[in-house]
Structure 1
Amino acid sequence: MPSAAERTRTLVQGTCSAVLIVPGADRARHEQLMPDARTVGTEGEIFLLFPADAPVVRAATHAQDDELPAVLELTDVAPVAVPNRIRGRAWVSGWVTCAPGVAEEPGRMMLRLEVGELYVDDLWGDAAVDPDEFARAEPDPLSPYETELLQHLAAAHHDQVRGLRTLLGERPGSGHPAVTHVVPLALDRFGLRVRCRDEAGIAFDARFDFPEPVREVHGLRRAMHRLFEAAAEE
């Protein structure tokens, strides 16, 4: 399974929703707290790009040479329609300062978030993350393509995804109600997670691990083909 540091790094560098909470910007609208871009530096610091007149930029500028405490809140929402679409959240707390001249654009200001503490709560569970491990971690290689791939699976391979129910086996204490819906929920280099619903209306998740981790889309196609073949043989 991906480590907590890898999962957090994937969320930080991915496309999920993010807001930066700082003192002095309490009255800002939600969208004013959302960075236009975010990247991770070589030492694990997080760079956040904002309009130069954003409330968080004004707060950081007003702090001058002092480090401004801040929390970056990330919310990961499934890109397909499933019950309970929030797949995970992460919180990165630390200190933010202005970083003029760092990949800056006209009318924009780059802020630097020095990481102090990290915490992730997602489909794998919840865990604190060591800042050094976060700095060394790599985001999941499939993350840039996950949204498109999941939407493609849900739309173009609905029957094959639904056919994965043949691999589920029996759920202890379930009374064995038939599974009626299977929707792709999450995808990473280690496997595919789906959200199922049975005829009793009970939703649950199932995960199918790949025989070996995949590093790119071509390897993923082969792994998915083998998975669909295994389901068809049951």
Structure 2
Amino acid sequence: MTRAITDRPSDAEVIATACRRAGAAMIAVETTGGGAPTPAPASVDLVHLFESQAFLLIPTDSDIIPLAGNSPDGVPAIVEITDCAPIDLRERVRSLIWLNGTAHPVPRDLERDLALEIATEHPNGGLLDIGHGRSMIRLQVDTAVVASSSGAACVPAAELAVADPDPFWEYEGEWIAHLDADHADMVGQLARRLPRDLRRGRVRPLGLDRFGIRFRIEGIDGDSDVRLPFPRPVADVAELSRALRSLAGCPFMNSLPD
């Protein structure tokens, strides 16, 4: 019997969340014969997952766009997403994600309508640059891989297609920065719940989601990450704030910005 995971996001949810707040991503493609040179990798400004597809914003002058347009079946491609902590840590990378599949062009006359639709659930200033140095390309995802300090996992496209990003994805960065800068007392209280052997170093908030809070312990011999789960997943900011205060043993402490 498979036990439902209730203390952490699934691998597919981790990927979906990282894609929503992707600040550093690249796409690379490979040619399939014919002697054509392989285009240089291109930066990606937005990664929007929709079912088993990822819509990407890349520079209009990238050679990837005409190559995909001239390939009826698409071109093999991989998108690498680097999920970084929102604060200045010794090592800021929290996870690396790779989306593997085939890249296809998005017709230019559909780009703006598609951008408006994407913006309703994934607001991103880069969408305003369509037609002004940025174009859209579609990745048909076959598989995805996520790697972090806890290991690596491969996620099939069907599982990724039904995964939702964490409900706090849009605000997690500023909340973590607020905790780190303004609530050292609360971080200290939470750190007391960590295993004793993990307290030998500087404890910094690393991530926050509906299942709990993660910390990075920067020790003399290296870094380690640890999660403190909430008693149950939370659904909104009020529940999240109560869960944090309860973990810290300070029921009346303000934990999140207004």
Superposed CA deviations along residues 27-56 of structure 1, whole A, max 9, x for unmatched, are 63x6xx122322122x32111122322232
Q: 2:49 aligns to what? A: 40
Aligned to 2:236: 216
Q: Distance in 2 between matches of 1:14 and 1:121?
A: 17
- Secondary structure of 1:152's match? helix
> TM-score, normalised to structure 2's length?
0.76
Taking the aligned partners of 2:81 and 2:12, their CA distance within structure 1 comes to 14
Q: Is the alpha carbon distance of 1:70 and 1:180 closer, same or farther for their aligned partners in structure 2, counting shifts above 3 Å?
A: closer
Post-superposition, which runs of at least 4 consecutive aligned residues in structure 1 deviate over 6 A?
none
* 2:248 matches 1:228: yes
Provide the C-alpha distance between the structure 2 equivalents of 1:208 and 1:52, rounded to a whole number of angstroms: 43
User: The residue matched to 1:144 in structure 2 has which SS?
Assistant: coil
Q: String of CA shifts for 1:38-78, please: whole Å, max 9, x gaps.
A: 2122x3211112232223223323x3424111001111111
Match of 2:26 in 1: 19
Change (3 A) 1:23 1:229: same
1:16-37 Cα offsets, whole Å, 9 max, x none, are 4110101368563x6xx12232
Offset of residue 201 of structure 1: 5.6
1:229 shift after superposition: 1.8
Report the Cα offset of residue 163 of structure 1: 2.8
Decide whether the 8 Å contact of 1:22 with 1:59 is kept in 2.
no
- State which of 188, 194, 199 in structure 2 corresponds to 1:168: 194
Amino acid at match of 2:17: T
Counterpart code for 1:184 = P
Deviation at 1:168, TM superposition (A): 2.3
Quick check: 1:154 aligned with 2:180?
yes
Matched, 1:133 2:159: yes
Match of 1:192 among 213, 219, 223: 213
Distance 1:161 1:26, change over 3 A: farther
Closer/same/farther in 2, CA of residues 195 and 36 from structure 1, 3 Å limit: closer
CA shift, 1:206, in A, is 2.7
For the residues of structure 2 that align with 1:218 and 1:230, how far apart are their CA atoms? 15
Once the two structures are TM-superposed, the CA of residue 151 in structure 1 deviates from its matched residue by 0.4
CA offsets per residue over residues 147-194 of structure 1, 9 Å max, x none? 1111000001012202323222433xx8xxx63521101111110111
Aligned to 1:118: 144
More divergent stretch after superposition (93-102 vs 122-131): 122-131
Aligned to 2:9, which of 2, 22, 35? 2
Amino acid at match of 1:36: D
Of residues 53, 56, 66, the one that matches 2:64 is 56
Q: Is the 8 A contact 2:23 2:45 kept in 1?
A: no
Indicate how the Cα distance of structure 1 residues 36 and 168 shifts in structure 2: closer, same or farther if over 3 A, else same: closer
Provide Cα deviations, 1:170-226, integer angstroms capped at 9, x if missing partner. Answer: 33xx8xxx635211011111101112245x565433321111111222221111111
The letter of the residue matching 1:216 is D
Query: Letter of the aligned partner of 1:229 in structure 2?
Result: G
* Matched positions, count: 221
Match of 2:5 in 1: none
Q: Which moved more, 1:153-162 or 1:116-125?
A: 116-125
Contact 1:89–1:120 under 8 Å retained in 2: yes
Uncovered stretches (5+) of structure 1, i.e. residues with no partner: none
Question: Hey, what does 2:122 align to over in structure 1?
Answer: none
Structure 2 regions of 5+ residues with no counterpart?
Answer: 1-7, 32-36, 116-129, 252-258
